[in-house]
Amino acid sequence: MSNALQLPIIDLASPDRFSTANSIRQACIDHGFFYLVNHGVDEELVKKVFEQSSNFFSFPIEEKMKLAIKNHRGYTALYAEKLDTTLTTKGDSKETFYVGPLADGLNQWPLEEDLPSWRSTMETYHQKVLSAGTKLLSLIALSLKLDEDFFGKVGALNEPLGFIRLLHYPGSGDLDSSSEEVYGASAHSDYGMITLLMTDGVPGLQICREKSKQPQVWEDVPSISGAFVVNIGDMLERWTNCLFRSTLHRVLPPRQERYSVASFMEPSKDCIVECLGSCCSEACPPRFPPIKASDYLEERLRLTYVK
């Protein structure tokens, strides 16, 4: 049985940055998850993104497969990913579309005549979320007793990798009925720095605060209209020497159709992720060797796709 969780609400526009940073610190130590409000991504734009996402996913599968994933951009079909690699079931019951950094020319886009203003909507959203994420990272730096511009100074923001992932979970009536339990998204922690998630309000997201405890206790994360659900990824957990937690989460098989948009913010490829000075001591030495951000992410992504 799961309980609904009361996560902290962080106001990105609050003038009291130190108090906000302290709240973030507590949230990241206790849950690894929090809500973010007053983030500067306006409701009208969010509504457009969900409409455009729904338009794309309603296309026939052969149309969607023309944009099949390459270079981590484009479409992945139902069951193509399995986030919990220990499961013996088929992949997760969701289809997705990835939009990556706008400058490198690797994104795949639906044709303008098929979906007018689809691309411009996604590009605008990408930029707005990246801007909110950058502001949030300066508060996260403060929360770690570092200078506000720490992540900029270590090169994490030279060319930060922003990925948007449109997600569609068909309702259970639209899926093959089989006896095995298939998750919308099986249990996993995110790989990067931070994730900003927007949902359509349909429930399903759950977190498990103690990764290693058995049996696992799962708690529902209710959606708050207009707020991002933010969570810490494994890379930031590693950077903070496990002070901040990258929490296990999953999406239950939805009874009704569900849409969400996850935005992942990763450091620039060449940024070196090594234990922060404020997160280690003689009693608590660094647990992980330094690693280049791109090497870490590539390895994690390689393990996700169903062979």
Could you give all domains of the chain from N- to C-terminal order, each with its CATH number?
9-169+180-304 (2.60.120.330)
User: What's the pLDDT score for residue 306?
Assistant: 46
Note if the pTM is more than 0.75. yes
Q: At what angle do helices 43-57 and 118-143 cross, to 10 degrees?
A: 130
Q: How many CB atoms lie within 10 A of CB 34?
A: 21
pLDDT of residue 307: 44
Check residue 2 and give its pLDDT: 53
Q: d(Cα 247, Cα 212) in Å, to the nearest integer?
A: 11
Helix, strand, coil share of the chain (percent; to 5): 30, 25, 50
Tell me if 194 sits within 8 A of 182, measured CB to CB: no
Q: Are 129 and 196 in contact (CB under 8 A)?
A: yes
At residue 175, the pLDDT reads 61
pLDDT at 174: 61
pLDDT (0 to 100) of residue 90: 77
Q: Tell me how far CA of residue 256 lies from CA of 47, 113, 165, 299, in angstroms.
A: 19, 30, 20, 34
> What tokens appear for 78 in the block?
């139902």
pLDDT at 304: 62
Q: What is the pLDDT along the chain (307 residues), one digit of tens a residue?
A: 456 788 999 999 999 999 999 999 999 999 999 999 999 999 999 999 999 999 999 999 999 999 999 988 999 998 887 788 777 777 888 999 999 999 999 999 999 999 999 999 999 999 999 999 999 999 999 999 999 999 999 999 998 899 999 999 998 766 665 545 678 888 999 999 999 999 999 999 999 988 888 888 999 999 999 999 999 999 999 999 999 999 999 999 878 899 999 999 999 999 999 999 999 999 999 999 999 999 998 888 777 654 4
In the three-class reduction of DSSP (H, G, I as helix; E, B as strand; rest coil), residue 270 is classed as: coil
Q: What is the reported pLDDT for 1?
A: 42
Q: Which two tokens stand for residue 267?
A: 């450091």
Here the tokens at position 134 are 């950058």
Give residue 298's pLDDT.
85
The per-residue pLDDT for 178 is 56
Taking alpha carbons only, the member of 6, 32, 26 closest to residue 247 is 32
d(CA 222, CA 242): 26
Main-chain phi, psi angles of 45, to 5 degrees: -65, -45
Sign, Cα dihedral of 142, 147, 148, 149? negative
